[in-house]
Amino acid sequence: MEWKRDWKALGAMIAGFLACYYLPVGWPRFDAAVLEAFHLVKWYAREHVLLCLIPAFFIAGAIAVFVSQASVLKYLGPKANKVLAYGVASISGTILAVCSCTVLPLFAGIYRMGAGLGPACAFLYSGPAINVLAIVMTARILGPELGVARAIGAVAFSVVIGLLMELFFREKMESDQPIYLPDDEKTRPLWQTAFYFATMVGILVFANWGKPLETSGLWHTIYSVKWWITSGFAILLGLELATWFRISWWKLLIAALAVLVVALAFPAMPLAPFGIGVVALSYLTSTREDEAGQWFNSSWDFAKQILPLLLFGVLIAGLLLGRQGHEGLIPSVWVARAVGGNSLLSNFVASFAGAFMYFATLTEVPIVQGLMSAGMGKGPALALLLAGPALSLPNMLVIRSIMGNKKTVVFVGLVIGLATICGYLFGAVFA
């Protein structure tokens, strides 16, 4: 067996040497793609890590600590009522409005707590796919038929994908065997837990509220006061930490004053006070031995597992596909040419390319608009809209670390396959 390891090591060394020897440095497209990779990962770190992922890590940590395993098994477990389980999982995106990466810590939290594979996968797909703002934006910019088709397809996909995953990877437990439910130890009333989670979800949603195209109306009004709303939720979280977690008032007051000073000193940089708030919350919870400390430790465990894979995946995605309006190694014109018409191949290319690209929340609509102006058919457009927001290369790397290779391949294959078929049928009807 030792000689096999040596041959493997030698093969890896030779492959690495050849890759370095023939590294295409100096080729303009390669040099530009490398630069695009760093541009994309820089943008991702600035726009998504602090505002999207860190709140999601804290929510995932709270799920692991404050949501009892008995509750997860009761409502989302393998023996849970199917209508209830899939109903809750399939509409989660209407509340969260997150991207394919932000949903991962939340998925990991409920999956590790015992949620059934089917409902967990339905949640994994629906979180980024069923976004009310994105669907409304799709209808207004790309046409009402695409908006309606995307809404119906996203809800149906989440349920179908979850049911198929559950069918392909059936639990080994016999259907007539009773499931063991651990004791449901409640440390506080249900309304307090629900209010606590709603506060953190409010911070996540409004801190990431995107700028609408309109210069007036409800969405624009909310955007103009998004940081005031976010601050209101942050104040509520501080009150909860003081009353329910017994964190000292004076420590919370010092943290709030630090956030206020930074906000007044840098009014055009909302990330600065938000970052100070995150640091303060981390310090206040990490230095405790009670459930607040467990909350931080659980959140930190998710961050250590997920964040490095996401950043690496974003780097590779930028190298291959570039940013919006910029080229990577794969020329965008190849994609535009391949998704014209309404053949099965064009729909497959659209769903496959969309699955590996990274779409921030709402950015898929202008990208599809640009592709349609370059000749993309309506069917491939829908295929990309159904596959793209729910998947990305960074997303796949993290899913693999949570579910394993086989389940990840099947999940990705189902999303791409269903998007291809749905896009083809839609294109045939609305040619």
Whether the per-residue pLDDT at 97 is higher than 80: the answer is no
Question: Cα separations (Å) of 245 from 67, 239, 293?
Answer: 15, 9, 10
Nearest-5° Cα angle at 119, 159 to 355:
65
Q: Which residues contact 178 (CB under 8 A, 6 or more apart)?
A: none
Whether the per-residue pLDDT at 351 is higher than 70: the answer is yes
Average pLDDT across the chain, whole number: 83
Question: Cα separations (Å) of 76 from 120, 174, 259, 261?
Answer: 8, 18, 38, 44
Q: Half-sphere exposure (CA, 13 Å, Cβ side) for 253?
A: 3
**CB 393, CB 318: distance < 8 Å:** no
Quick one: pLDDT band at residue 382, thresholds 50, 70, 90? very high
Residue range 215-260, pLDDT digits in tens: 777 878 888 999 999 999 999 999 999 998 889 999 999 999 999 9
Highest mean pLDDT pick, 41-50, 88-97, 149-158, 164-173: 149-158
Q: Rounded distance, CA 152 to CA 148, Å?
A: 6
Question: Inter-axis angle of helices 344-356 and 378-387, to 10 degrees?
Answer: 30
Burial pattern 197-225, b for ≥16 Cβ within 10 A else e, equals eebbbbbbbbbbbbebeeeeeebeeebee
**CB 344, CB 305: distance < 8 Å:** no
- CA-based nearest residue to 358, from 398, 403, 405, 390: 390
More confident: 178 or 90: 90
Helices (H) and strands (E) in the chain, counts: 22, 0
The pLDDT value recorded for residue 77 is: 73
Residue range 116-134, pLDDT digits in tens: 888 888 888 887 887 776 7
The torsion defined by the Cα of 153, 156, 157 and 162, in degrees rounded to 10, comes to: 170
Quick one: pLDDT band at residue 76, thresholds 50, 70, 90? confident
The pLDDT value recorded for residue 199 is: 93
Q: Rounded distance, CA 266 to CA 259, Å?
A: 11
Q: Half-sphere exposure (CA, 13 Å, Cβ side) for 313?
A: 23
The pLDDT value recorded for residue 177 is: 44
Q: Rounded distance, CA 316 to CA 311, Å?
A: 9
Q: Rounded distance, CA 419 to CA 211, Å?
A: 28
Q: State which amino acid sits at residue 127.
A: G
The pLDDT value recorded for residue 414 is: 94
The pLDDT value recorded for residue 20 is: 85
At CB < 8 A and 24+ separation, what contacts does 221-228 make? Answer: 227/270
Q: 3-state DSSP call for residue 340?
A: strand
The pLDDT value recorded for residue 110 is: 80
The pLDDT value recorded for residue 49 is: 81
Q: Rounded distance, CA 55 to CA 60, Å?
A: 9
Whether the per-residue pLDDT at 137 is higher than 80: the answer is no
The pLDDT value recorded for residue 406 is: 92
**Sheet strands (E) in 3-129:** none
> Per-residue pLDDT averaged across 12-35, rounded?
86
Q: The tokens 């045939």 sit on which residue?
A: 428
Neighbouring C-beta atoms of residue 20, cutoff 10 Å: 8
Quick one: pLDDT band at residue 275, thresholds 50, 70, 90? very high
- CA-based nearest residue to 129, from 157, 110, 149, 109: 157
Whether the per-residue pLDDT at 361 is higher than 60: the answer is yes
- CA-based nearest residue to 388, from 6, 128, 121: 128
The pLDDT value recorded for residue 94 is: 62
> Per-residue pLDDT averaged across 389-398, rounded?
86
The pLDDT value recorded for residue 180 is: 46
Least reliable range by pLDDT among 86-100, 263-277, 291-305: 86-100
Q: 3-state DSSP call for residue 74?
A: helix
> Per-residue pLDDT averaged across 363-389, rounded?
82
- CA-based nearest residue to 188, from 240, 112, 265: 240
> Per-residue pLDDT averaged across 162-168, rounded?
90
